[in-house]
Amino acid sequence: AQRVTQPEKLLSVFKGAPVELKCNYSYSGSPELFWYVQYSRQRLQLLLRHISRESIKGFTADLNKGETSFHLKKPFAQEEDSAMYYCALRDNTDKLIFGTGTRLQVFP
Amino acid sequence: NAGVTQTPKFRILKIGQSMTLQCTQDMNHNYMYWYRQDPGMGLKLIYYSVGAGITDKGEVPNGYNVSRSTTEDFPLRLELAAPSQTSVYFCASSYTDNEQFFGPGTRLTVL
């Protein structure tokens, strides 16, 4: 079965602390994974995708096929990073399967 | 351009009533999607469309209908509202299978 698991509903850190939002997936084949973010009172928007191998707003995510993971990381969290983060997998019919999301709270 | 717009923002329905959630995009995207977001459940795909005149079921289509008569519009119809349809509904669009752009959402309560 194709599935995305985000085990943490809530992650709270202080400003300047490292952040790791966990995402595990289940997929047979070559996965294509994304992180979407929803800031307060804003729309859900794409943060990054694994094929781009880019860093956006200081966030990076590496696809680990051995551990079937695509964790989102940032070395030093900022208050403006507080948001809801969703990991998503493109399935074999080109639709996105979303995880249940993790709320990141960054305290000053 | 406005991107993806949804109306209404909020709606309360009585059980058995019907309504249409409107979605319009001005980016000339061929793909459009409807999701529902329940607390703690992530986004579930209701219906999607790969172009005008073509629609297909997603993961949770029961109780909903869609149409896609133009590239811009993708309305979602609830014929007999039920409390289980209380949710936040998001419309999204994309150019082929690229990045999806989301609307602001419609919060629907069925009492």
- The three-state DSSP-derived secondary structure of B39-104 is CCCCEEEEEEEEECCEEEECCCCCCEEECCCCCCECCEEECCCCHHHCEEEEEEEECCCCCCEECC
Q: What is the structure's pLDDT at B97?
A: 67
Give the tokens for residue A100.
């249940």
Contacts of A44 in chain B (CB under 8 A): 43, 90, 92, 102
Residue % of chain B over a pLDDT of 70: 99
Q: Which of residues 54-73 of A touch B (CB under 8 A)?
A: none
Contact criterion met (CB < 8 Å) for B97 and A94: yes
- What's the average model confidence in pLDDT over B38-51? 91
Put simply, the answer to whether B101 touches A99 (Cβ < 8 Å) is no
Chain A residues with CB-CB distance to B100 below 8 A: 46, 96
pLDDT for B18 equals 96
Question: Cβ contacts (< 8 Å) between B99 and chain A: which residues?
Answer: 46, 49
Dist. CA B55–CA B75, nearest whole Å: 11
Give the pLDDT mean for A73-81: 97
Confidence of residue B54 (pLDDT cuts 50, 70, 90): very high
pLDDT in tens, B71-99: 999 999 999 999 999 999 999 999 876 78
Contacts for A40 with CB less than 8 Å, ≥ 6 apart:
A82, A83
Q: How confident is the model at residue A38 (pLDDT cuts 50, 70, 90)?
A: very high
Q: Judge whether A72 and A35 are in contact, CB under 8 Å.
A: yes
**pLDDT attached to residue A52:** 80
Contact B72, B24 (CB under 8 A): yes
